[in-house]
Amino acid sequence: MNSLESPKKSAMYWQKRQSMKQIISQKPMFNELMRATNQCMRQHPEFHRDTQAAIACETIHPQTLSPFSNFTFHTHPHDIQYPSDKDIQTTKRLHKDYLLIGLPTRKQVIAFHKNDNYQNIIARF
């Protein structure tokens, strides 16, 4: 079966797929931001047992605050794999479709989408 014979996907499906491709293409920038978080954590060993203090080592993608992107991105120094209420509120306030969290020690980015209020991971890369 070729792609023309496959079941039709909605326009939204293809738009989301294209958006994720564009986001994933920024992995080098995400990696750089995660490296900065790891470096900060190495410089501040006292943060390893204090998640509140470790917020000082979070890094934020410059496009997060830009109206020209459809995502927010920041790191979680302790590799917490779910967004906080504040993360969700900020993403909604900025009218972004995707909420991305960098897990620095794993060198991984996880993505959430607004369709389910940023509750379920839709991609890992």
Residue 60 gets which letter from DSSP?
B
User: pLDDT tens digit string along 79-90?
Assistant: 999 999 999 999
Across the beta sheet with 121-124, what order do the strands follow?
71-75, 98-103, 108-113, 121-124
Counting beta carbons within 10 angstroms of the beta carbon of residue 49, is it exposed (0 to 12), middle (13 to 18) or buried (19 or more)?
exposed
pLDDT tops 70 at residue 13 = no
Model-level pTM?
A: 0.86
User: pLDDT tens digit string along 73-120?
Assistant: 999 999 999 999 999 999 999 999 999 999 999 999 999 999 999 999
pLDDT tops 90 at residue 18 = no
